[in-house]
Amino acid sequence: MHCTVRCIACTTEDPRPPSPTASVSESNAGASPEPEPNNPTIVVRGLLLVHLLMECAMAVAKDDYFTARGYLHHLNHLVSPIGDSMQRVASCFADALAARLSPPPAPKPYPAPSLHTFKFYHILYQACPYFKFAHFTANQAILEAFESEDRVHVVDLNILQGHQWPAFLQALATRPGGPPALRITGVGHPAESVHQTGRHLAELAHSLHVPFEFHPAIADRLEDLRPSMLHRRVGEALAVNAVCRLHRVPDIHLDWLLSTIRDQAPKIVTLVEIEASHNDPHFLGRFLEALPYFAALFDSLDATFPADSAARAKVEQYIFAPEIKNIVAREGAERVARHEKLDRWRKVMEGRGFKGVALSANSVDQSRILLGLYACDGYRLTEENGCMFLGWRDQRMIAASAWRC
């Protein structure tokens, strides 16, 4: 069932590929531009797509490229970037498998969000609650840590377009006794975008009468960050905000980065990450974890965007398809989408000297209010050991936690 946002505030055992003849008939049966999730044809086709993707991935894992290409040939008759959610996600995974079978390309860094792709992040931000959940939950934890402070400083390790901070500024502006002096150090790339974000936030802070400074820290990789770039000042309460960013830091650099953060003595560190294990050193393990995760994600996009949405197609093409390809097709330093589940992050943070801070009842309430703004019933909010998870139906999608030194 499709929904619209009311408010934006807040296995078979046969290893052989099926015959090409079957693929043509299946393709013709499933080209409806407005998919109906309960349609038996769509359900059967979805199961077939999962089966073909799994068989193809297992053939790839065995280096049986002849068999894998046979499955890909059949998949290409069934998938579609404009079909139902399973056709679309299968299209992304088929492209990723094809890329893995192709000769390795010349090494190049995973592309950082560009000014062109930022608009698609904005579309996703407006339409779905994932980023808003991350931001609202982190903001509430930071606000509570700053409650009695007069001078506060936030280091945002993934500033992007600064969508997190307007609501934070508004909350500070209405604080009893007046707002504190706020500084934000925004880490990001490209420079033009970071500077533009700073200007927008400064204009908003001025209109809200919140004393404000913005410091750009231009860095494409967090391992390039240096303590001097954080602009630490004596007498300021510090928060470090890490939303969907730490997973890209290689293990050999993560210990240094977390030690650097700990040495800054922050009052709070907010950590929000994708709740998935996409960092298995073995290709097949990553594939088996990624397929159900992104299938649930694309299903949630179906429930949020209208049928045949060009905006949704762009979001999938420019944001999620490259991430799927990175998880499936790349290895070594080129594989940067190394998502880990919260249990793993808990071990990492505790191993670096951080202690968990339970998210408050206010954080839970804010998240429930946020989900109430969406006229669809698939989103699920759960609380566990002082942390929160936002899911789509039975699949946990994103996890939020807070930490102190």
Q: What is the pLDDT of residue 104?
A: 72
Cα–Cα distances (Å) from 298 to 78, 124, 172, 210, 223, in that order, read 17, 12, 36, 39, 31
Q: What is the pLDDT of residue 10?
A: 39
Residue 31 falls within a domain, yes or no? yes
Q: What is the pLDDT of residue 376?
A: 82
Domain that holds residue 372: 129-276+339-404
Of the residues 334, 356, 376, which one is the last residue of a structural domain? 334
What is the average pLDDT across 124-134? Answer: 95
Q: Identify whether residues 34 and 162 lie together within a single domain.
A: no
What is the DSSP secondary structure assignment for residue 189, as one 8-state letter?
S
Q: Identify whether residues 163 and 254 lie together within a single domain.
A: yes
What is the average pLDDT across 123-140? Answer: 95
Cα–Cα distances (Å) from 305 to 9, 45, 85, 301, 317, in that order, read 18, 22, 11, 6, 15
Q: Identify whether residues 224 and 313 lie together within a single domain.
A: no
Q: Identify whether residues 73 and 192 lie together within a single domain.
A: no
Q: What is the pLDDT of residue 4?
A: 34
pLDDT band per the 50, 70, 90 thresholds, residue 110: low
348-396 pLDDT tens trace: 999 999 999 999 999 999 899 999 998 788 999 999 999 999 999 999 9
CATH code, 400: 3.40.50.150
Q: Identify whether residues 314 and 180 lie together within a single domain.
A: no
Structural domains counted in the chain: 2
Q: What is the pLDDT of residue 307?
A: 83
Residue 112 falls within a domain, yes or no? no
Residue 11 falls within a domain, yes or no? no
Q: Identify whether residues 58 and 206 lie together within a single domain.
A: no
What is the average pLDDT across 107-112? Answer: 61
Higher pLDDT, 303 or 13: 303
Q: Identify whether residues 251 and 365 lie together within a single domain.
A: yes
Structure tokens at 45: 């086709």
Q: What is the pLDDT of residue 114?
A: 64
Q: Identify whether residues 258 and 299 lie together within a single domain.
A: no
From CA 371, how far away is CA 110, in angstroms rounded? Answer: 32
What is the average pLDDT across 203-224? Answer: 97
Q: Identify whether residues 266 and 357 lie together within a single domain.
A: yes
Burial of 373 (0-12, 13-18, 19+ CB in 10 A): middle
